[in-house]
Structure 1
Amino acid sequence: MLVLYIAFLYCAIFLGEVRSFYYAVPQWDTILHTMSGAMLGALGFSMIAIFNNAERIPLNLSPVFIAVFAFCFALAMGAVWEIYEFTMDSVFGTNMQKYMLDNGTALIGQAALQDTMKDIIVDAIGALVMSTIGYISLKYKKGWVEKLMIRFHVKKPEKNGKTKKGKDE
C-alpha cells in the first residue's frame, strides 16, 4: 500500500504538475481522483481496523459500519482536497480547479464547476468500489482488505520489564 501511495504522489505532483500531464494526458485528473478515492477508502478501513483490533478498546464493529465509514472518510478527504484546490487557486492564482482554459480564458457557470464536481463524483466511485470490496472481504472473511491495510508494530512490555514486539494493531 505504501508503494501505491508513493506512486500516486509521483503521478499527481511530478507527472501531473511538473510534466503537465493534467493538460497533456486526457482524463489524467479523473484517473488520479478515482485512485485516490479507492486509496482513501483503504486508509479508512485501516483506521477503523486499528480501533476494531485494539486490545484496550473492546469493539466489534460490523462490516457494514466499517464499509460505510471507509466510504464517508474517503469522500470527506476528497472534499478537503477540493477546498485545498480552491484555496490555492484563490490565494496563489493557480488553476488547480481548472476554472480557466490553458490560454487563460475564464470559464463561467457549470463549465467552471465541472472539474470539481467530476472530481468528487469519481472520488465517490473509487470509494464505493473499495468499500464494496472491503465489505465483501470482511463479511465473508476473504482477507483482501487486510493486504491493503496500514499496520503499526508496537513494542509491548513483558512482565519482567523488557519490551517485545507486539502483534499488528
Structure 2
Amino acid sequence: MNHYFELALYALAAVCFVYFLIRGIYAKVFEAVLIVAVLALIRAVIKFTKVELFPALRFSILLFIFVAMFLANEFGFYTIFPQLDKIEHLCSGVILCFVGLLIFRQINKNKEAVKLHASTAVWFSLFFAVAMAGCWEIYEYTTDQLFGLHSQNDSLVDTMWDIICGTVGAGATGLYLSFKAKNQILT
C-alpha cells in the first residue's frame, strides 16, 4: 500500500511540474522538483542506512509530505484552511515518535544480553518526539530572525500551539505504541 502511495506522490509531483511549467508559475515548478528530491532523499537515506521502516512510519512520512508539501505549499491550502499548520505539527509528533522508536531499536539491536522493557522504548520515543518539536521551533525562530521570515507568525502563542500539537501527536502515538507493546520485552 505504501509503495503505491509513494508512486502516487511522484506522479502528482510530475503533474504539478508540467501544469505549473505551462502556466509559467516557476516557484511552484521548483516546489514540485523539491518534492521529488525529498522523496528520493528519504529513499536514499533508507537504502544507505539499511534501516527498514515499519509500515506505520513510512505511511506517516508519506502522508506528511502530501499534507505539508502538496496541500499546504503546492495548492495553497494555508489560505483555505488556516489550521493546517497545526495538523502538520500533530502529524510531525506522530512521525517523530515512530522515528524515536526506530532510533531506540537501532541503538539496542546488538545488545543480546540486555533485555529492555517495551515501556522504555515508548518513553524514549515520546521524549525524543517532544524534544524534536522544541528543536523545530528553535529552527523556525532562528530562520525568522536571520532571514526575516514569518514562520512563527511573530507570535509566542503560535510557537506554543505548535509544540503542544507536536506533543499531542507524540502522546497519542506513545499510547498506541504502549497498547501494541504491552508486556513485551524489546531487545
Q: Provide TM-score, normalisation by structure 2.
A: 0.62
- The correspondence of residues 58-77 of structure 1 with structure 2, limited to 5 A, is 58-77=113-132
What residue number does 2:80 align with? 24
What residue number does 2:31 align with? none
Cα distance in 2 for partners of 1:66, 1:85 equals 28
Mean alpha-carbon deviation: is it higher for 36-45 or for 8-17? 8-17
1:127 paired residue among 170, 174, 177? 170
Q: CA RMSD in A?
A: 2.1
Cα distance in 1 for partners of 2:151, 2:74 equals 13
Matched, 1:13 2:69: yes
Q: Deviations over 1:1-38 (max 9, x none)?
A: 32431331232134323433223213101111111101
Which amino acid letter does the alignment assign opposite residue 61 of structure 1?
L
Q: Deviations over 1:24-57 (max 9, x none)?
A: 21310111111110111111112112234x2355
Larger RCO: Structure 1 or Structure 2 (Cα < 8 Å, ≥ 6 residues apart)? 1
- The correspondence of residues 29-108 of structure 1 with structure 2, limited to 5 A, is 29-52=85-108, 54-56=109-111, 58-99=113-154
Cα distance in 2 for partners of 1:78, 1:23 equals 24
Which amino acid letter does the alignment assign opposite residue 163 of structure 2?
I
Quickly say closer, same or farther: Cα 1:23–1:60, change in 2 above 3 A. farther
Cα distance in 1 for partners of 2:69, 2:75 equals 9
SS in 2 for 1:58: coil
Identity over the aligned pairs, expressed in percent?
Answer: 33
Quickly say closer, same or farther: Cα 1:57–1:51, change in 2 above 3 A. farther
Q: Is the 8 A contact 2:126 2:171 kept in 1?
A: yes
Cα distance in 2 for partners of 1:3, 1:129 equals 16
Matched, 1:116 2:134: no
- In the alignment, structure 1 segments of 5+ residues that lack a partner are 100-111, 142-168
SS in 2 for 1:59: coil
- In the alignment, structure 2 segments of 5+ residues that lack a partner are 1-56
Larger radius of gyration: 1
What residue number does 1:144 align with? none
Q: Is the 8 A contact 1:35 1:126 kept in 2?
A: yes
